[in-house]
C-alpha cells in the first residue's frame, strides 16, 4: 500500500484562507465585505473593545444594537440541552415582554458564558440589565427589553465587571454610519476571518412608495449545523410588523437558511438569531398572516437570512470550498433534507472536496447511509433512496454543462480532467437526483482542511 505522505502542505493553499494573526481580512474574502450600505432607520449600533479574552488588546468584542423606539422582536434559539446562560435570559425576556417593547441587543465575543452554572446566569442577567439601563425604563411593568448573546469558548465565566464597565462606552459610541455597522459586525466574530454584514432595501405591496430597509450580521464559523451552532445573527428592519407575527416570520426564514447549513455537524449551546422590527420607516403595520405584505416580507426576510447564512459557510473554519448540495426528485422533503444534511456532514466527502478529488463514491456512500438507523435505535428507515434511480452530477460554478458521475445507479465514465477543472473552483454544486418524486432540499457546506484541524486542535490556547 502506497500512501501519499503529503497532499497539501499546511503552508500553501489552506493557509491562504485563514485569518491572519493581525486581524486583516484575507485577500480572497475581501469581496464579501461591503464598503457601504443602506441601514434601517431608528437603529444605532456600536462595536467596542472590552478585552474579554486577555490576549485581545484592541479588536472590538462588544456589539450593541439599539432601537430609538421600543420595537417588536423575535428570536430562535439552539435546541442543545446545555443552553448557555444568555439563551435562557433572552428567551425569558421575550416571553415576559411578549415580543414587544424591545430596545437593544448586546453581544460579547470571546467567551460563550455556557455551562457556567448559576453564576453564569447571574452574569447574563447583569449584562442584560446594564443594556436596559441605557434606556428609559418601560412603564408597562414587564421589565427591560434587551436581548443578550455570547459566543466563544464554553465553560469559562465571563469577565463580567470588565464588560459592565464598558457598556456606557458602547452606548456613547452608538451611530448609524456604515463604519458603525461594520465595527459592530466585527465585534461578534470569533474564528471568523471577515465580518458578515448585509443590508438592502425593499418595498411592501401596500405602500410601494416607502423604501424599507433591512440590515443584519452573523458570525460563524465552527459548531455550525442545524439547530444551530456557535452561530449568532441579528437582523433589524424599519418595516412595521405586529409583534405576534414576528416569531413565525423568523422561524420560516431560518429553516431554509441558518438551519440548512453545516460546517462540522456540531450544534452549539449558544445559537441565537434575533430579528427586530421598529416600524421607523412608517407605513401600515402588518397584522395578518394572510396579507400580501406578510408574504412579501416573508420572502424578503427568507432571502436575506439565506444570504447571511451562506456567508457563514463561506467562512467555515479552514474552508477552501463553498459547496451547494441539492437533492431533488425526492418522494419527501424530509428525506431530501436528511440526505443533503448527511452528505454535508460526511468527513470523507469534505476531505475529498478539499483534495479536489472527484470521489463521487463517497457522495453515494453518504446518500446510502443517510436514512439508516444506528443499531439499537428505533428503526425508522425511509425508502427515499433507490439505487437504480439515483443520479449524481457536479454542477460547475462557471455555468458550463453539468458533469454526470452516476446515472440511474450506473457509473458514468468520468472525464477526470474535466472533473479536476471543476474542482479547481471555490464554488461547486453537488446535485443528487433521487428519481422518485418532486420534493427537494438544499444545503450549503464547506470542506475539511488541515486548517480546520489546526484551528480546532488548539482553540482555547
Nearest distance from C-beta of residue 51 to a copy of itself, angstroms: 12
Per DSSP, the three-state class of 227 is coil
Give the nearer residue to a copy of itself in terms of CB position, either 175 or 368.
Answer: 368
Residue with smaller CB distance to a copy of itself, 235 or 263: 263
Q: Is 230 a catalytic residue?
A: yes
Contact range with a copy of itself by CB under 8 A, out of 27-35, 152-160, 176-184, 291-299: 152-160
The DSSP H or E segment spanning 218 is strand 207-219
**Coil, helix or strand at residue 198:** strand
Q: Which of 203, 291, 371, 442 binds a copy of itself (CB under 8 A)?
A: 371
- Three-class SS state of 296: helix
Q: Is 326 in the site for a copy of itself (CB under 8 A)?
A: no
Q: Are 46 and 240 in contact (CB under 8 A)?
A: no
Residue 81 annotated as part of some ligand binding site = no
Report if residue 49 touches a copy of itself, rule: CB under 8 A.
Answer: no
Q: Is the CB of 71 or the CB of 406 nearer to a copy of itself?
A: 406
286: CB partners within 8 A, 6+ apart: 204, 239, 240, 241, 242, 245, 293, 294, 297
Helix (H) or strand (E) holding 70, with range, is strand 62-77
In angstroms, the Cα distances linking 53 to 60, 139, 150, 170 are: 11, 37, 13, 18
| Size of the residue set binding a copy of itself (CB under 8 A) | 104
Residue 88 binds a copy of itself (CB under 8 A): no
User: CB of residue 166 vs a copy of itself: minimum separation in angstroms?
Assistant: 18
Enumerate residues 226-245 that contact a copy of itself by CB under 8 A. 226-227
Q: Compute the distance between CA of residue 194 and CA of residue 316 in angstroms, rounded to an integer.
A: 11
Count each helix (H run) and each strand (E run) in the chain, helices first. 12, 15
Instruction: Give the gyration radius of the chain's Cα atoms.
Output: 23
Near a copy of itself in 328-347, by CB under 8 A: 333-334, 337-338, 341, 345-347
The answer on whether 68 is annotated among ligand-binding residues is no
Is residue 234 within 8 Å of residue 275, measured between CB atoms? yes
List the one residue out of 363, 373, 314, 369 whose CA is nearest residue 343.
363
Query: Could you say which residues in the range 382-411 bind a copy of itself, by CB under 8 A?
Result: 385-387, 390, 406, 409-411
For residue 237, say whether it is annotated as part of any ligand binding site: no
Find residue 286's DSSP bridge partners.
241
Instruction: Mark the segment that binds a copy of itself (CB under 8 A) among 73-81, 139-147, 173-181, 302-310.
Output: 73-81
Rounded to the nearest whole angstrom, what is the least distance from the CB of residue 425 to a copy of itself in the complex?
17
Q: How far is the CB of 449 from a copy of itself (least distance, A)?
A: 6
Q: Rule CB under 8 A: say whether 5 interacts with a copy of itself.
A: yes
- Residue-wise DSSP of 90-156: HHHHHHHTTT-SEEEEEEEEEE---S-HHHHHHHHHHHHHHHHTTSPPPTTSS---EEEEEEEESS-
Q: Is 201 marked as a binding-site residue?
A: no
* Mask for 90-129, x = binds a copy of itself (CB under 8 A): ----------------------x-xxxxx-----------
Segment lying near a copy of itself (by CB under 8 A), choices 52-60, 62-70, 196-204, 283-291: 52-60
Whether the CB-CB separation of 52 and 111 falls below 8 Å is answered with: yes
Site for a copy of itself in 164-223 (CB under 8 A): 189-192, 222-223
Q: Which 287-316 residues touch a copy of itself, going by CB under 8 A?
A: none
Instruction: Name residues contacting a copy of itself, limited to 264-283 (CB under 8 A).
Output: 264-269
**Annotated catalytic residue within 230, 342, 367, 390:** 230
HSE of 273 in the Cβ direction (CA atoms, 13 Å)?
Answer: 34
- Closest approach of a copy of itself to the CB of residue 329, in Å: 15
Instruction: Say how far apart CA 222 and CA 268 lie, in whole Å.
Output: 9
- Least Cβ distance, residue 100 to a copy of itself (angstroms): 26
Residue 73 beta carbon to a copy of itself: minimum distance, rounded to whole angstroms? 21
Q: Which cell numbers in the block locate residue 84?
A: 448557555
Residues 351, 111: Cα–Cα separation, whole Å: 30
**Distant-in-sequence contacts of 409-418, Cβ < 8 A, 24+ apart:** 414/358, 414/360, 416/358
On whether 317 is known to bind a ligand per the annotation, the reply is: yes
Q: Which residue in the set 46, 59, 104, 237 belongs to the binding site for a copy of itself (CB under 8 A)?
A: 59
Which of 141, 208, 378, 399 is in the footprint of a copy of itself by CB under 8 A? 378
Residues placed in the known binding site for substrate: 190, 219, 230, 317, 456, 461
Catalytic residues: 230
Residues placed in the known binding site: 190, 219, 230, 317, 456, 461
Amino acid at each position: 500500500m502506497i500512501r501519499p505522505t503529503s497532499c497539501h502542505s499546511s503552508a500553501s493553499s489552506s493557509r491562504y484562507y485563514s485569518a491572519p494573526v493581525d486581524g486583516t481580512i484575507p485577500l480572497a474574502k475581501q469581496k464579501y465585505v461591503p464598503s457601504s450600505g443602506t441601514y434601517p432607520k431608528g437603529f444605532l449600533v456600536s462595536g467596542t473593545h472590552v478585552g474579554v479574552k486577555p490576549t485581545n488588546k484592541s479588536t472590538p468584542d462588544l456589539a450593541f444594537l439599539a432601537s430609538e423606539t421600543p420595537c417588536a422582536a423575535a428570536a430562535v434559539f439552539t435546541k442543545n440541552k446545555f443552553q448557555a446562560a444568555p439563551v435562557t435570559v433572552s428567551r425569558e425576556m421575550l416571553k415576559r415582554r411578549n415580543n414587544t417593547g424591545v430596545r437593544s441587543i448586546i453581544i460579547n465575543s470571546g467567551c460563550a458564558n455556557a455551562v457556567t452554572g448559576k453564576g453564569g446566569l447571574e452574569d447574563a442577567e447583569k449584562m442584560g440589565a446594564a443594556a436596559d439601563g441605557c434606556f428609559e425604563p418601560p412603564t408597562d411593568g414587564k421589565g427591560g427589553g434587551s436581548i443578550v448573546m455570547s459566543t466563544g469558548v464554553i465553560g469559562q465565566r465571563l469577565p463580567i465587571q470588565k464588560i459592565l464597565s464598558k457598556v456606557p462606552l458602547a452606548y456613547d459610541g452608538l451611530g448609524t454610519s456604515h463604519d458603525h455597522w461594520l465595527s459592530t459586525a466585527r465585534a461578534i466574530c470569533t474564528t471568523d476571518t471577515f465580518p458578515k454584514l448585509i443590508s438592502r432595501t425593499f418595498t411592501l405591496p401596500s405602500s410601494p412608495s416607502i423604501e424599507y430597509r433591512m440590515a443584519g450580521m452573523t458570525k460563524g464559523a465552527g459548531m455550525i449545523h442545524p439547530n444551530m451552532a456557535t452561530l449568532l445573527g441579528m437582523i433589524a428592519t424599519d418595516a412595521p410588523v405586529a409583534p405576534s407575527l414576528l416569531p413565525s416570520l423568523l422561524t420560516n426564514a431560518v429553516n431554509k437558511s441558518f438551519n440548512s447549513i453545516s460546517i462540522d455537524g456540531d450544534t452549539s449551546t449558544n445559537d441565537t438569531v434575533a430579528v427586530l422590527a421598529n416600524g421607523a420607516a412608517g407605513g401600515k403595520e402588518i397584522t395578518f398572516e394572510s396579507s400580501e405584505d406578510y408574504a412579501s416580507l416573508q420572502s424578503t426576510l427568507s432571502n436575506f437570512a439565506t444570504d447571511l447564512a451562506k456567508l457563514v459557510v463561506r467562512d467555515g473554519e479552514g474552508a477552501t470550498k463553498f459547496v451547494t448540495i441539492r437533492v431533488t426528485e425526492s418522494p419527501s422533503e424530509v428525506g431530501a433534507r436528511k440526505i443533503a444534511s448527511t452528505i454535508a456532514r460526511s468527513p470523507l466527502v469534505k476531505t475529498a472536496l478539499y483534495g479536489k478529488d472527484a470521489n463521487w463514491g463517497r457522495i453515494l456512500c453518504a446518500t446510502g447511509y443517510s436514512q439508516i438507523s444506528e443499531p439499537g435505535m428505533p428503526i425508522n428507515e425511509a425508502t427515499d433512496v433507490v439505487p437504480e434511480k439515483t443520479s449524481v452530477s457536479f454542477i460547475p460554478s462557471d455555468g458550463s454543462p453539468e458533469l454526470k458521475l452516476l446515472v440511474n445507479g450506473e457509473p458514468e465514465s468520468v472525464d477526470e480532467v474535466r472533473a479536476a477543472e471543476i474542482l479547481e473552483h471555490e464554488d461547486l454544486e453537488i446535485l443528487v437526483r433521487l428519481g422518485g418524486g418532486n420534493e427537494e432540499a438544499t444545503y450549503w457546506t464547506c470542506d475539511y482542511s488541515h486548517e480546520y484541524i489546526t484551528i480546532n486542535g488548539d482553540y482555547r490556547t
